[in-house]
Amino acid sequence: EAGVTQFPSHSVIEKGQTVTLRCDPISGHDNLYWYRRVMGKEIKFLLHFVKESKQDESGMPNNRFLAERTGGTYSTLKVQPAELEDSGVYFCASSQTGTEILFGELFFGEGSRLTVL
């Protein structure tokens, strides 16, 4: 069974440009999460989808970030326009139900590293 896959693995863009990160969760997983790790800081929650609906987007830094999950399958996270402080590793994770996280049933992708110059 395929795990959580993320594209691209690394993106280098200039300040002001746009980047779109994609996450394909494990098939059948209704819950999809985005987390971000900025260098030197802890991994932080960005948002949580249940199917195509945003369950919690309290961690989104500002309106330059737009997440979508049309059809409840894959998700995209667009940063427009990118700023220097957006650099970091963006992790996507999925689980079948929200409560399974308690038992470790939350699976992470390898992350998309974003470098904004």
Partner 1 sequence: DQQVKQNSPSLSVQEGRISILNCDYTNSMFDYFLWYKKYPAEGPTFLISISSIKDKNEDGRFTVFLNKSAKHLSLHIVPSQPGDSAVYFCAALSGTGNNRKLIWGLGTSLAVNP
Indicate which single residue of 2, 27, 28, 41 sits in contact with partner 1 (rule: CB under 8 A).
Answer: 41
Alpha-carbon span 31 to 103, nearest angstrom: 15
Q: How many CB atoms lie within 10 A of CB 65?
A: 19
Q: How many CB atoms lie within 10 A of CB 92?
A: 26
Smallest distance, partner 1 to C-beta of residue 104, A: 3
102 binds partner 1, rule: CB under 8 A = yes
Smallest distance, partner 1 to C-beta of residue 33, A: 7
59 binds partner 1, rule: CB under 8 A = yes
Count residues near partner 1 (CB under 8 A).
30
111 binds partner 1, rule: CB under 8 A = yes
Q: Which residues bind partner 1 (CB under 8 A)?
A: 4, 31, 33, 35, 41-45, 48, 50, 55-56, 59, 91, 93, 97-99, 101-111
